[in-house]
A and B are shown apart, each in its own frame.
Chain A
Amino acid sequence: MKKQTEARVITFTSEAEMPMMPASMASTLYNKTGSWRYMRPLYVNKTPPCNAACPAGEDIVMYLQLTAQGRYAEAWETIVRENPFPGVCGRVCPHPCESECNREHLGGAIAIHCQERFLADYAAAHDLGLPMPDVPQRGEHVAVVGAGPAGLSCAYHLRRMGYQVTVFDAGDKPGGMMRLIPEYRLPKEVLEREIAAIVATGVEVKTGVRLGVDVSLDDLKDYAAVFLAVGQSRSRRLGVPGEEATGVLPGIDFLARVARGQRVGLGEKVAVIGGGNTAMDAARTARRLGADVTIFYRRSRAEMPAIDEEVNEALDEGVRIEFLRAPVAVLTENGHVRGLRLTEMELGAPDESGRRRPLPVAGSEYEVACDTVIPALGQVADLSFLDAEVKSERGRIITDEKAATTRPPIFAGGDVATGFGTVTAAVGSGKRAALAIDCFLRGVERTFPDLAQNVQAAPRPHDAAVVRFEDLNTAYFEEEPRPRQEQRPAAERVTTFEEVNLGYGEDAALAEAQRCFSCGTCNECDNCLIFCPDVAVLRGPSDDEPFVFNYDYCKGCGICVSECPRHAISFEEEVKFAET
């Protein structure tokens, strides 16, 4: 009997038609065992925890899987469909994705930031330009105010959708707060390259234009829509006597001057006030300029908002951190800083941020000598350009989930609206606004998830359910350690602004990508096909549909569901049994 591909039913109408002995004449394909089934397996990709945690809405699992196959250019394209700053984010993002990674339980979270950085460096080395989708150009012109990560992300995504975009920025170069990130964390050429790539997509950038000074909101009313992403550019004040003395240099002003290559005289001893990333950047930069640096922070290490790795690196470089200390006064001599009067603090009841409120300890004041005081207590937005129609609250522009302000068609995003305070969050916020502006201009209704979650510009079909470690079949995974990222030794670091972290080479990146579980995302391991007793899993027609179930024969045993290592197969009650 030749191999059969179609069901054939044999019917004997008389004994004479029957063979001499009971030999088979057709295959069992006549028997549609699919009718037995009361549960149905379905290929449904779920949301991996890293993707769910990414403030920029990157499809992390997809680019790790492409990297695992050595398809680096496609992997990079997968990132830049969502985020045009992989080189920046791969270096400075606090990577909340890694905190959620299910690999943590079997050898350590995937070093996603190193992967992102590797792909960005690969794209730079191979001179890859941002690929633009082939869409019809649209007549509407959108103004974006602020060329930081939110503004540039919005402009880029609007360009991808065919809109004309002009970005205004008060600075002399686009980049916003990204320009203040010290070179040892983010080399300037990485930033320049990614900004240039965005400009090359046809975004018009006008620098040296300050909203409220050089143009007003009303001047922008000829644009079809306006996106405000002016960020938070004003340093919070210390609020203690002596703050006006020379030698008190706000953190972002200090970083801006160093970034512009200006000489900054710090003296011997520098006191940095604050516990955030700006404080760390300022302290480590001052170290590199030869100063003896102490950070004073009013709470304890656990409450520090700075990225943990940054704090450790600062300590390695000889920065001292004094916890539970707050300044009471800046001590001056002839109008110049000579020291600080500090008070010890203790932690009281939790405040509205959920952290315990620091309270001064009575009678604990003391003095220290220093030549420069760098307050880095966070920034606030300068909202002086706003008119009465665009409402703000507690220093932030009020927006709805579609990034719209109280005065359409004016939209807002980034730190001026969200205050999230990271490049990656700003990129996500800008993208959300671009998608919302597109819907607004086309008159399309679309709902957006909560502001804390981020939308994807090019989502692939997936279920919103987030895959957790318990959902995986770990029989298929070994415990494998995370490869170490090479780092410049601390003693060498304090003498140079060369990059601290050296990233992954190709071998490490490839191995690390292959360590990814690919949670919720089919990566064609073939388990479903291998373990089906009934040959009811077939290879599918395309990469988008690698397998198909043959429901004519699938008996619904569920082996494929439980043996899928990554929870990419769902199991649902057959419709004929479901309650109607």
Chain B
Amino acid sequence: MRKPKTYARNYEIPEEELTYSGSVSCPGCGATLAMRYALKALGPKTMVVIPACCWSIIAGPFPYSSLTVPIFHTAFETAGAVSSGIRAALDILGKEDITVMAWAGDGGTFDIGIQALSAAVERNEDFIYVCYDNEAYMNTGIQRSSATPWMAWTTTTPVKHPKDEPKKDIMAIMAAHYIPYTATATIAYPDDMIAKFRKAKSIHGAKFIHVLSPCPPGWKSEASDSIKLSRLAVQSKVFPLYEIEHGEKVTINVWPKDGGVPVSEYLRLQGRFRHLSDENIAAIQAEVDRNWERLVAKAKGSVYTELV
């Protein structure tokens, strides 16, 4: 293979591909790209646990797989429990070098799987739990979840009755478990995302990574805009990139360029927000600004010191 030139880019991405072409994900699927980066970071010694979600389908119909690493398909609410079991089995076999990664959607994390997840991280099981968040039950036909943002259209929150509840703060919930590592990541920042997966792999104990995954059919956006939306989510501070160590030490990894962009730039590319009034957008902007200020305050006020 030809050696890649890197002068035009200032970061490295592992060359090895651990996902296959031919998966049945929709064109422009953010979750598919997220898996590709995750496995590039974790390497072939990885086992993946997938509860009911888009990836149950993307991973391939029997007897095919779109991953080069083993996958265990399991029930909607069980990702935390099954991952704990697989971890225990591997440890008994002496295969401690194998990373266990639970890979669940927002439905399986925020709603249906939160009990098993909370229990597993409360026990500080040594695994990485990834929530790829496309902000609704996309696989079953775009029903709202507790990860769906305020005022977004879904099939169960139609334009006449858009969702009236804010998105659940899953990062705060996970940080409140005081687990070693909690982080956000998204596909427009592959270097940041790969660094976080590598860091998670290097840490013993429970790790939680929240990945924002644009979904063209569910967000009613152009397939070609998936990276752009991911980037705008970060630049508009709708989805800041940060990490929380031991529930306390907050670090913002990507600061929006030139103070960021208005949320309207992020919202206007998505059909699910097309019905928003100017007042709605102003309210979203105010909420995003408030959350950002709170995050910055947390990052500045972090006082965690390593226990000896």
Contact = CB atoms under 8 A, between A and B. Distances in A.
B64 A27 contact: yes
B9 interface: yes
B234 to A, nearest CB: 11
A19 B7 CA distance: 49
A383 to B, nearest CB: 52
A25 B63 contact: yes
B308 interface: no
A69 B7 CA distance: 7
A107 to B, nearest CB: 14
A429 to B, nearest CB: 35
Contacts of B30: 533
Interface residues of B, number: 43
Given A3-B68, A562-B224, A29 B2 contact: no
A563 interface: yes
Interface string A516-557: 001000011111001111111001111100100010110111
Contacts of A19: 63
Interface residues of A, number: 55
A490 B36 CA distance: 60
A342 B225 CA distance: 65
A37 B25 CA distance: 13
Contacts of B71: 24
A32 interface: yes
Given A27-B22, A541-B2, A542-B2, A523 B27 contact: no
B20 interface: yes
A487 B7 CA distance: 30
A384 interface: no
Interface string B1-21: 110111111000100010111
Given A518-B8, A555-B27, A29 B227 contact: no
A558 interface: yes
A24 B64 contact: yes
B29 A533 contact: yes
A10 B25 contact: no
B222 A558 contact: yes
A537 B164 CA distance: 41
A531 B64 CA distance: 24
Contacts, number: 145
A142 to B, nearest CB: 41
A28 interface: yes
B62 A525 contact: no
A23 B6 CA distance: 40
A14 interface: no
A533 B62 contact: no
A558 B224 contact: yes
Interface in B44-83: 60, 62-66, 68, 71
B68 A28 contact: no
Nearest to B190: A530
B28 interface: yes
Nearest to A546: B2
Nearest to B191: A530
Given A526-B13, A558-B222, A559-B224, A553 B68 contact: no
B8 A26 contact: no
B198 interface: no
Nearest to B13: A530
B62 A30 contact: no
Interface string A68-87: 11000000000000000000
Contacts of B62: 22, 24
A534 B29 CA distance: 9
B226 to A, nearest CB: 6
A24 B66 CA distance: 9
A514 interface: yes
A235 interface: no
A36 B21 CA distance: 13
Contact of B227 (A535, A539, A543, A562): A562
A464 interface: no
Given A28-B60, A514-B7, A556-B27, A533 B36 contact: yes
Contacts of A525: 8-9
Contacts of A33: 21-24
A525 B33 CA distance: 18
Contacts of A514: 7
Contacts of A13: none
A312 interface: no
Contact of A1 (B23, B65, B216): B65
B228 interface: yes
B32 interface: yes
A518 B9 CA distance: 13
Contact of A69 (B5, B222, B228): B5
By secondary structure, the B interface counts as: loop
A353 interface: no
A530 to B, nearest CB: 6
A475 interface: yes
Nearest to B231: A475
B112 interface: no
Q: Among the interface residues A536, A562, A571, which one has the most CB atoms of the partner chain B within 10 A?
A: A562
B166 to A, nearest CB: 28
A262 interface: no
Contact of B8 (A36, A37, A524): A524
B163 to A, nearest CB: 27
Given A69-B7, A524-B8, A539-B2, A28 B23 contact: yes
A27 B223 contact: no
B27 A563 contact: no
Contacts of A530: 13, 190
Nearest to A523: B8
A558 B2 contact: no
A557 B224 contact: yes
A572 B68 CA distance: 32
Contacts of B2: 539-543, 546
A32 B24 CA distance: 10
Nearest to A36: B27
Contact of B4 (A30, A526, A542, A556): A526
A561 B13 CA distance: 20
B22 A553 contact: yes
Contact of A559 (B6, B22, B36, B227): B227
A51 to B, nearest CB: 18
A525 B5 CA distance: 7
Contacts of A37: 27
Given A68-B7, A69-B7, A542-B2, A29 B21 contact: yes
A28 B20 contact: yes
A27 B65 contact: yes
A526 B22 CA distance: 21
Contacts of A535: 17, 19-21, 36
B235 to A, nearest CB: 8
Contacts of B32: 533-534
A515 to B, nearest CB: 12
Contacts of A550: 21
B7 A28 contact: no
9 contacts: A24-B62, A27-B22, A28-B21, A28-B64, A28-B66, A531-B227, A535-B17, A552-B21, A559-B223
Interface of B: 1-2, 4-9, 13, 17, 19-25, 27-30, 32-33, 36, 60, 62-66, 68, 71, 187, 190, 216, 222-228, 231
What 3 A-B pairs are tightest by C-beta distance, nearest first? A558-B224, A24-B65, A553-B21
Interface of A: 1, 3-4, 7, 10, 19, 22-33, 36-37, 68-69, 475, 514, 518, 523-527, 530-536, 539-543, 546, 550, 552-553, 555-559, 561-563, 571
Given A68-B7, A553-B22, 9 more contacts: A25-B63, A29-B20, A29-B22, A523-B5, A524-B4, A526-B4, A531-B190, A558-B222, A559-B224
